[in-house]
Amino acid sequence: MRTINLIVIHCSATRCNKDFPVEALEACHRARGFNGIGYHYYITKDGQLHLTRSEDVQGAHAKHYNKNSIGICYEGGLDEKGKPADTRTPAQKRTLLALLKSLRVDFPDAEILGHRDLPWVKKACPCFDVREYQGI
Ligand SMILES: [Zn+2]
């Protein structure tokens, strides 16, 4: 297993009133030249958790930080007009919290950050303050 010291949370940067199913995410990432979905986990609006990449395999989601991290993405992150917004549904929040708690057990020392919390990232991703998960 790789050393994991970081868990990075992302949004798909798609509008909350549009569906962006896991198949569309995969097509998008393959079109960018990735070998499948770059995140390890994808949480759709219905709260379903999709295992999109083995934890053993390095992801493609956070430049310079892929080697020792796990990437989680939730569907959404933009409001109806395309502006960055915390669009997590109650089901997504429940799933994300459960996932993070379980990853905490496997990787107790890993830091949980939002994509935008990494240095030099100019995006709003994941469009909410992940400090709400500090101390879980
Ligand atoms: Zn991101």
The size of the chain, in residues, is: 136
Q: Which helix (H) or strand (E) holds 113?
A: strand 111-114
In the prediction, which pLDDT does 136 show?
87
Q: Give the Å distance between the CA of 125 and the centre of ligand 1.
A: 5
pLDDT < 70 positions in the chain: none
Is 42 a known active-site residue? no
Number of H helices and E strands in the chain, helices first, is: 2, 7
Q: Taking a C-beta distance cutoff of 8 angstroms, is the pair 76, 11 a contact?
A: yes
Q: Give the Å distance between the CA of 63 and the centre of ligand 1.
A: 10
Question: Could you tell me which residues are beta bridge partners of residue 8?
Answer: 71, 113
Summarised one tens digit per residue, pLDDT across range 12-26 is 999 999 999 999 999
In the prediction, which pLDDT does 63 show?
94
Is 11 a known active-site residue? no
| Residue in 11, 16, 39, 45 annotated catalytic | 39
Is 64 a known active-site residue? no
Summarised one tens digit per residue, pLDDT across range 26-40 is 999 999 999 999 999
Q: Taking a C-beta distance cutoff of 8 angstroms, is the pair 113, 8 a contact?
A: yes
